[in-house]
Amino acid sequence: MIEMTEADAANELMRLARQIARANRLYHAEDAPEISDAEYDALVRRNAELEAAYPHLIRPDSPSAQVGHEVASSPLRKVAHEVRMMSLDNAFTDEEVEEFVGRVRRFLALSESAEVVMTAEDKIDGLSCSLRYENGKLVRAATRGDGQVGEDVTANVAHIADIPQELKGTGLFDVPAVFEIRGEVYMAKADFLALNARQAEAGDKIFANPRNAAAGSLRQKDASVTASRPLRFLAHGWGAASEVPAATQFEMMRKIADWGLPVSPLLVRCASAAEMVAHYSTIGEQRADLPYDIDGVVYKVDRLDWQERLGFVAKAPRWGIAHKFPAERAETTLEAIDIQVGRTGKLTPVGRLKPVLVGGVTVTNVTLHNRDEIGRLGLRVGDRIVLQRAGDVIPQVVENLTRDETREAYAFPDHCPECQSEAVAEEGEVDVRCTGGLICPAQRVERLKHFVSRAALDIEGLGEKTIIEFFHLGWLESPADIFRLRKRRSDIVGREGWKDKSVDNLLAAIEAKREPDAARLLFGLGIRHVGAVTARDLMKRFVTLPVLRDAAVAAREGGEATADLLSIEGVGPVVVEALGDFFHEPHNIAVWEDLLSEVSPPAYVVETKDSAVAGKTIVFTGKLETMSRDEAKAQAEALGARAAGSVSAKTDLVVAGPGAGSKLKQAAALGIDVIDEAAWAEIVKAAG
């Protein structure tokens, strides 16, 4: 169980979103990763753990809803995928694999004795690519990009021998009219070493690893460069298809092999979690001797009709998972401890390390989290430490090898390094925070960065570097100043990196936010404990920002106003107190009123899907006979409804199966509409 305050969770989720977005951009769009796969997996896993513990803090830019990265500025043409290219959730232990099988069993309402067959194959570390064949002929190849839009690399894959221009069997009429084969473009280990030797001899760029080499080679404007590189392809699935001529994953992969594309020679069927884990161990033993890099094993539900029922979550299928190999540990020296000041004034210690290679990546920094963590590990500058990049935590120091040496303990600062204001820990909290508030330049800059971030106002062109530059020039002191930058156009033009067009683009992007989404604006203010999801929940209830402010002010007095706020799902006493404190502080009121003199957020309107139950709250009770409770809830959410666990006056509809008890009685007492499972199926069918 995660034990931390909501504020800490919100702050960590924000940091994780930024770290993962940067990692995605460097990996998918620029082919220049700066962290290992293990560290990336750890970040994603930590994000998932926090979102599970604090679902009301899930951010609009949550990494759990992102796949890859949007295509960066590139000479290659952008193309949209007809069927989104998803990623996979990860498992790191045998127990998690067993739980994955259990989730599938529960979702499909299968008995414990029912056999759940899975396919298992090695997870190759390459660049995802989709090959679209029409009437058996290759018409387009595209990279994954952000899962929805990739880059057209059709001319480039023509030089990859593993990818046929025409599928075998076309004359036998056994190839669908449209079929997109998906897999990984990769470079074999031996070919990678030979390429780097040639690059070094010619004085050209040396590639960090085979994956980078493959990505850089495929994403070339000049296809002749791709032709000179030894690229390979391995198929692992499919996307859009006019027909799927098989009933199982295994049979379909065999058919793709028959059509002339290579598939993994290690692909097998497994009838139990034990068989899956055994195959994982077998592949792990062969890992070093395989001709290509792998980082785990992928399991998929074999029956395609079950895959269809299981469907997808935000960015991954429920019917598949990647069982990742464990990461490494390494020893190094803690050379310094620096203190960073965040948006909320939190002082975060960062360890500066003697560079150490872990999982093929050089590591120089590690977060030390807080004062208590430093004390727990007994860390001092000069200590020898063990650094872990396992899958179940953010990369961290796990052991101090020299803590028994006699040396003066590290003294955590009691004053802010940025503004020299007193730094204290509030009662019951482990974090030390600067008390300087908006007089602290670090907090002001961080709050401005947060205000324009993607999850808040999302002002394109106003990035971190620009905010810092304009802040130090005295042009940006508060959010409202952003909307007054148009008055400084002549001052901006001519500064390094700024020309007429770039300035006009920035000012246009700012002007486009004069009527911002109210929930985004509320989140952008950086009120403690008010994350993106909570901001949306608040605006759903109060519709306009002035009404919300009045409610927050009234709630300081308790009574009905407080009860009204607390009735909102996801809003607890901590959020109510934070809102009241924010609107009680004169400086915050001044910032608020100044901002609203520049922007006019419209009344908040919730967009819902076009279905009979969109926007409604639904409760499922009793035994469902054709699906599991989880599957029913997933259907409701897909139709724009909210699936609740209990009946209340806010419930709009109850779907009752055999054995429905107290919830059904409560629905009757409240006069709530009740339907059976068959009627629910008709609603789902009508929505298409």
Catalytic site residues?
Answer: 123
Instruction: Identify the burial level of 68 via C-beta atoms within 10 angstroms of its C-beta, where 0-12 means exposed, 13-18 middle and 19 or more buried.
Output: buried
Instruction: Identify the burial level of 492 via C-beta atoms within 10 angstroms of its C-beta, where 0-12 means exposed, 13-18 middle and 19 or more buried.
Output: buried
Which of 135, 132, 476 lies closest to 143, judged by CA?
Answer: 132
In 10 A of CB 319, how many CB atoms?
Answer: 24
Which of 454, 516, 450 lies closest to 483, judged by CA?
Answer: 516
Which of 87, 125, 122, 297 lies closest to 212, judged by CA?
Answer: 125
Element (H, E) at 250: helix 249-258
Q: Which amino acid is at 359?
A: G
Rounded to whole angstroms, the Cα distance separating 381 from 333 reads 8
Residue 343 token pair: 């948006």
Q: Residue 594: CB partners within 8 Å, gap ≥ 6?
A: 478, 480
Element (H, E) at 423: strand 423-425
Contacts of range 84-87, beta carbons closer than 8 Å, 24 or more positions apart? 84/147, 84/148, 85/128, 85/130, 85/144, 85/145, 85/147, 85/148, 85/150, 85/182, 85/239, 86/147, 86/312, 86/315, 86/316, 86/317, 87/147, 87/315, 87/316
How do 361-367 and 384-388 pair as beta strands? unpaired
Rounded to whole angstroms, the Cα distance separating 88 from 345 reads 36
User: Three-state SS across 559-576?
Assistant: CHHHHHHHCCCCCCHHHH
Counting every residue written for the chain, the total comes to: 688
Q: Residue 173: CB partners within 8 Å, gap ≥ 6?
A: none
Give exposure, 395-410, as e/b (b: 16+ Cβ within 10 Å). bbbeebeeeeeeeeeb
Rounded to whole angstroms, the Cα distance separating 243 from 304 reads 12
Residue 352 token pair: 């500066």
CA distances from 68 to 28, 87, 463, 470, 532 (A): 6, 8, 21, 32, 22
Cβ(527)–Cβ(592) under 8 Å? no
What one-character-per-residue DSSP string does 629-672 give?
HHHHHHHHHHTT-EEESS--TT--EEEE-TT--HHHHHHHHHT-
Rounded to whole angstroms, the Cα distance separating 646 from 172 reads 57
Rounded to whole angstroms, the Cα distance separating 25 from 71 reads 9
Q: Residue 15 in 3-state DSSP?
A: helix
Cβ(257)–Cβ(263) under 8 Å? yes
Cβ(80)–Cβ(143) under 8 Å? no
